[in-house]
Structure 1
């Protein structure tokens, strides 16, 4: 407010009378020199009697001594206001302002007081009271609205954050802190709590993505990066966000978004690249769309999930054929990103719409990475598409909170439910009905219906978790199974919160339920792929070593015998050179088959590498092991492998080295080395024989 410094008193009076704010002018001693009509009305509204101004609000009264306590400023704020006004009068402050409530039994109001000095030759101050009630009520409504949508987002497992660019303040949800291993009190309200934990190699990329969105180059922020957890390990996360408010100069005020834990996805991608055969087997079982391209930029393979989604054959998608399914508005952009990163041998990430077999377009995020062989030679690219149509829909609906909540449930397959424990009334969304009662989704929701859907083996655990939530006020967060005739056994992740009345009695349990069956099945399949040799079906080297350590520990603990074989196919290189690798693979499969039919169920067979195998025989001493080894060698020598031409067949033999546990101090490496030396002796003694370590 710019009060003219040298004007006539009449002009001065006309000026303040025309202002909408409540204006008081006082001299350096606090005496009221001038007030406007808005101030007079304000005084009457806050007087001890309706329509009658309080004592000390007229010209000539002392504002500091009488007026402040009678104008709605609470006792707690009285001294703050008095000190601030005095500081401006004394020249210790150039300006002073404060906000304060001014409530009556029938009306809630807030005001902002602004104190400005008069000119040096007109010692005193101008005090303006502005009504900010509408702003405060809007601010309160916004806070309540944000609390509802943040709770909905956290129901899907995402952590939520809210960054104020003006103050640097950042608010983090409880789930966000839990994702990285922190308690709620261990993370402050500043953006540095986030930026200081981003991996040093990722921070530049993250900030570039944020800046691109701020500059209007991207409709939203989306970036994958690593975050340091409380245990100092790094966790991969997918950050997504959007500027939700800007100032008059189009500068950002707030950036709101989520973080999703994608560590499992990152580990799965690494596992898929171990070998082409294993990758393709796992890729075809994956729910994501996967493609592979050669060094010529042409795509030469797509997984089954891709074909199921597009409804097109490998021949149709081969080369550039897959681009026929791209949305026309996305085609040029995608090709430019693909070619430029391909030429630079750089990883890329792009989002586009891809047409499905039903003619509908879905949004996908495509993450492409260069592939290199064991010698570091570039062999092409591999890409994985994740359906982000749900996220896109949520982002479109960010402005309307109610619409956003509904859309989030539909897209994320996230069901919501509300149990009023007072009258035992239950409501649930269509998604929740799909999870709990898919056989009859029109049935009236009830707690009994929920209980009848639980897997018998999980019933007591779920009921116990609900009881603990009510009795101990612990979070309801549990994974369990549900059973139905239509869908069989499904896995569900349920979360909930108890609401209590003023007496602390629980009255409602509100929460969400999400079908996580596909994720659980994929995790199980990934574990199986890692622990099994893809060609023979036997234990992989790493899994065999884990089993070996367990058996060795058991043998030492119970003083049991334990023996181990090292077995090698004789002249296997000659088999591959003479008949080809396909016949060589058949030989290895046949060997595994004979081991299965000759050995006991408790015996453990693992493929250590190439044509080399190891066998663990629990509770078997040296003499017994030698007999088993001879029986196995003889069985293998008597099998044949048919050849594809001339009706001929191939015989093959093995050499076996045997070692047994002699001392509790022996470890698995010692036993393997002993057996390996015996194997070496067998091969040097003419092959097709068994040698026992002495």
Structure 2
């Protein structure tokens, strides 16, 4: 392996059409290829590498003499990516389809970075492939950002799926596109059944019209709201839920989604009804006791007057 830069001889098929007439020469092409931020490479029709730009040498530490060959580049890939990359590249060579793949390339420091590999064939006037022109674009930062985003989404999903409430999210117009696991566990439904406005299927028919009218207005107002109604479980029984919805806005203050929860308040309602019944019973008992006392007092007064 060479660790010092060397000049790559440029294959004739790499020259753009018109180069022979002096419009673009090897030096201009090499200068351009070395200036762009991607690793640039060229192969013959069989996939044998014939050219790498200076960026390739700087990143990998391999010059052209070390880098040429049909499969050398695969050895620089992460072991987990080698088989897949060989299959994708083999498909392009066999079919002439454009080549595109994400993989991890090892640098001269021994560390792997993510790259987007892309290549297109160059054809002659008869349509035959005479060379492949490829680039490797560093996407390490994007992959790290994607990974961080995925971790946040997984953390959110874990939290949402383990909270006590049923939870859901909607577009600004109220179209529901996500429910947590609690919703599916309770209703026994699927996203295909519930997305959009499919949630009306699990509402009590005596209350659905009022609920639809209420939320249709709430979506347009864009303010937090609360509503209480019964929802049918997968056992066919209805339970009462307190629904709360919060509008989520971006940094410009634009409404981007709604986050809602349904809290089971059946036990609370039953307890409240029991307390109300007990209170009513107590009031009735007190009233009747007062009537008894008034009657007893009246009887005592009449008895005293008769003496």
Q: Which residue of 2 aligns with 1:136?
A: 143
Per-residue CA deviation, residues 492-520 of structure 1 (Å, 9 max, x unaligned), is xxxxxxxxxxxxxxxxxxxxxxxxxxxxx
Q: Which residue of 1 aligns with 2:100?
A: 97
Distance 1:204-1:231 versus aligned 2 partners, 3 A rule: farther
Distance 1:187-1:40 versus aligned 2 partners, 3 A rule: farther
Distance in 1, matches of 2:55 and 2:105, equals 16
Normalised TM-score (structure 1): 0.30
SS, match of residue 230 in structure 1:
coil
Matched, 1:533 2:231: no
Normalised TM-score (structure 2): 0.59
Candidates 48, 72, 92, aligned match of 1:31: 48
The Cα of 1:156 is off from its aligned counterpart by 7.1
Distance in 1, matches of 2:51 and 2:200, equals 61
Distance in 2, matches of 1:101 and 1:142, equals 20
Candidates 259, 262, 267, aligned match of 1:260: 262
The Cα of 1:20 is off from its aligned counterpart by 0.6
Distance 1:206-1:227 versus aligned 2 partners, 3 A rule: farther
Per-residue CA deviation, residues 148-194 of structure 1 (Å, 9 max, x unaligned), is 667777887445567899xxx9675xxx32355359xx887x67654
SS, match of residue 284 in structure 2:
coil
Matched, 1:67 2:73: yes
Distance in 2, matches of 1:164 and 1:111, equals 34
Given that 2:249 and 2:255 are in contact with CA atoms closer than 8 Å, whether structure 1 keeps it comes out as no
The Cα of 1:195 is off from its aligned counterpart by 4.0
The count of residues paired between Structure 1 and Structure 2 equals: 264
The Cα of 1:22 is off from its aligned counterpart by 1.4
- 5+ residue gaps, structure 1: 45-51, 269-522, 539-587, 598-635, 649-694
Given that 1:157 and 1:260 are in contact with CA atoms closer than 8 Å, whether structure 2 keeps it comes out as no
The Cα of 1:145 is off from its aligned counterpart by 4.7
Candidates 59, 67, 70, aligned match of 1:57: 67
Q: Which residue of 1 aligns with 2:118?
A: 114
Given that 1:72 and 1:102 are in contact with CA atoms closer than 8 Å, whether structure 2 keeps it comes out as yes
SS, match of residue 78 in structure 1:
helix
More relative contact order, 1 or 2 (CA 8 Å, 6+ apart): 2
Matched, 1:88 2:92: yes
Q: Which residue of 2 aligns with 1:410?
A: none
Given that 1:118 and 1:126 are in contact with CA atoms closer than 8 Å, whether structure 2 keeps it comes out as yes
Distance 1:593-1:209 versus aligned 2 partners, 3 A rule: closer
SS, match of residue 20 in structure 1:
coil
The Cα of 1:30 is off from its aligned counterpart by 0.5
The Cα of 1:81 is off from its aligned counterpart by 2.1
SS, match of residue 51 in structure 2:
strand
The Cα of 1:127 is off from its aligned counterpart by 2.5
Distance in 1, matches of 2:230 and 2:82, equals 50
Given that 1:180 and 1:229 are in contact with CA atoms closer than 8 Å, whether structure 2 keeps it comes out as no
Candidates 61, 83, 86, aligned match of 1:79: 83
Distance in 2, matches of 1:106 and 1:19, equals 23
Q: Which residue of 1 aligns with 2:288?
A: 590
Per-residue CA deviation, residues 405-461 of structure 1 (Å, 9 max, x unaligned), is xxxxxxxxxxxxxxxxxxxxxxxxxxxxxxxxxxxxxxxxxxxxxxxxxxxxxxxxx
Given that 1:160 and 1:259 are in contact with CA atoms closer than 8 Å, whether structure 2 keeps it comes out as yes
Per-residue CA deviation, residues 627-675 of structure 1 (Å, 9 max, x unaligned), is xxxxxxxxx9x64779xxxx99xxxxxxxxxxxxxxxxxxxxxxxxxxx
Given that 2:34 and 2:55 are in contact with CA atoms closer than 8 Å, whether structure 1 keeps it comes out as yes
Distance 1:192-1:524 versus aligned 2 partners, 3 A rule: closer
Distance in 1, matches of 2:244 and 2:124, equals 59
Distance in 2, matches of 1:17 and 1:152, equals 49
Q: Which residue of 1 aligns with 2:8?
A: none
Per-residue CA deviation, residues 330-386 of structure 1 (Å, 9 max, x unaligned), is xxxxxxxxxxxxxxxxxxxxxxxxxxxxxxxxxxxxxxxxxxxxxxxxxxxxxxxxx
The Cα of 1:53 is off from its aligned counterpart by 5.6
Distance in 1, matches of 2:259 and 2:31, equals 50
Q: Which residue of 2 aligns with 1:585?
A: none
SS, match of residue 199 in structure 1:
helix
Candidates 215, 238, 246, aligned match of 2:244: 238
Matched, 1:126 2:156: no
Distance in 2, matches of 1:524 and 1:251, equals 38
